[in-house]
Amino acid sequence: MNMSLKNLISRAVFLTAFTAGLALRFPTPHVYADQIPSGWAASNMKPIGYSDLEGAGAFKMAIRHIGDRWYLYMGHLWKRGWTIVDATDPGSPKVVKFIPGPENTWSIQMDLHDNIMVTSVGSFAESWGGDPKKPSEEGVLIWDISNPTSPELYSHWKTGNPAGTHRNSYPGGKYTYLSAAMPGYKSNILVILDISNPKNPKEVGRWWMPGQKDGEQPALQNVGFHGPTIIDGDRAYLGYGGSVVILDIADKSSPKLTGRLDFAPPFKGGFTGVHDVLPIPGKSALFVHSEGGGGDTPDAAPTCSGPLDLAAMVDIKDPAKPRLMSIFPLPVPPQGEPYSDFCDKGGRFGPHNTNLEQHLPDVEKQGDLIYLTYFNAGLRIFNIKDPRMPKETGWFIPPTPSKRIGPIPAKLVTQTEDVLVDTRGNIYITDKQWGLWVLRYTGPGEPAPTAK
């Protein structure tokens, strides 16, 4: 383990806690909730709370209900480390602690279960703020979060590749499933890590697409595992390049292919060709989608200039022969906008994330609603009661950002990134240039809350 990294983080955490202690001894005047920014547009949704997260913006999220408190754990695109937000009052989310991460290192992803949190670290592109001339950390950090607001670092497991890991998953128990850049492979592969002793993680298995390993006949197109891995018993569901992949993981040391459905071509391929794969309980179906691209930098490919992005339902009655069953409708701009479709708005347009943290007990369980962030089209909600005919039933678009806090996108427009829905019915979304929005859905099919 890299002790210097652990000492650096521990020192920073101590200073943060010490400062918080001073604030308790010498309280400041009452701090009111951040005002909800004006200019948003919505159908069957409304904002009920907002936090600018002390100007940091946010990216990925996970949530825990501990006692009478609700805590959001958040990663950042433009800040190195992780923020803990008290969302007990969804109308007044408050930052309670920032955990500094290693410098010049992407720390945007996290997942957790029970008292363990897994965070990815790795190098990142100069266009996103990385400095290729400076050192960075890589791999995965394993944390003890038994004290929900004071995480302590158990260990640092390294891949041996500067890119480290990307969207990892930890559904609880003995294993965490990594999207890992490993020596001798092209792009990321699946690595299964045994963390039953979180201070001494050990690799137990890996799986890759044919053509990724050095010396193999190259694949016809670039493939890589974005992550996460969704686990259902001895079955794992992955978005892998432009494909849906279903694995048998009864033997963690030797995962075996059960079924595969390729979408590229005609849909987009590459690392984000199939971004998420979400099993739908009771329907023998998967929701799958890609990640939209284009418009990040002035010299990047224009939005919508490549193959169509994917948002679809897949039939898995026979998991060995998954088949496409429906395509989601494309979002339509609100009336009165100066562009005829979202491709002309600027920034990215296309799917990005859905309410995927189904292993967390405090996340709304998947039913007939799909919550899907769509970059410049905000958050979209689709009803899949009939999975052969998905229908859009609500949407929310944050206003055009009033200031820039990060270099991307090239044009300053909203870019809604992640979504999480808790068991109280609160919908949390993040944006590249905004903070944390808390929303409520009021449209058809609204699930009844299961928690207060």
Q: Confirm whether 452 is domain-assigned.
A: no
pLDDT of 105 reads: 98
pLDDT of 222 reads: 81
Q: Confirm whether 446 is domain-assigned.
A: no
Q: Confirm whether 411 is domain-assigned.
A: yes
Neighbours of 152 (CB within 10 A): 13
- Overall domain count for the chain: 1
Helices then strands, counting H and E runs in the chain, come out as 1, 27
Q: Confirm whether 19 is domain-assigned.
A: yes
What would the 3-class secondary structure string for 275-343 be? CEEEEECCCCEEEEECCCCCCCCCCCCCCCCCCCCCEEEEECCCCCCCEEEEECCCCCCCCCCCCCCHH
CA distance 105 to 59: 15
pLDDT of 396 reads: 98
Q: Confirm whether 449 is domain-assigned.
A: no
Q: Residue 85 belongs to what domain range?
A: 3-441
Q: Confirm whether 300 is domain-assigned.
A: yes
Structure tokens at 170: 């930890």
pLDDT of 139 reads: 98
Residue 252 region by backbone torsions, left for phi larger than 0, else alpha for psi between -120 and 50, else beta: alpha
Pair 139, 188: CB distance under 8 Å: no
Q: Confirm whether 451 is domain-assigned.
A: no
Q: Confirm whether 292 is domain-assigned.
A: yes
pLDDT tens digits, the chain, 452 residues: what are they? 455 566 656 555 544 443 344 333 333 333 447 999 999 999 999 999 999 999 988 899 999 999 999 999 999 999 999 999 999 999 999 999 999 999 999 999 999 999 999 999 999 999 999 999 999 999 999 999 999 999 999 999 999 999 999 999 999 999 999 999 999 999 999 999 999 999 999 999 999 999 999 999 988 778 999 999 999 999 999 999 999 999 999 999 999 999 999 999 999 999 999 999 999 999 999 999 999 999 999 988 888 999 999 999 999 999 999 999 999 999 999 999 999 999 999 999 999 999 999 999 999 999 999 999 999 999 999 999 999 999 999 999 999 999 999 999 999 999 999 999 999 999 999 999 999 999 999 999 999 999 98
Residues 6+ apart with CB under 8 A from 114: 172
Domain holding 22: CATH number? 2.130.10.10
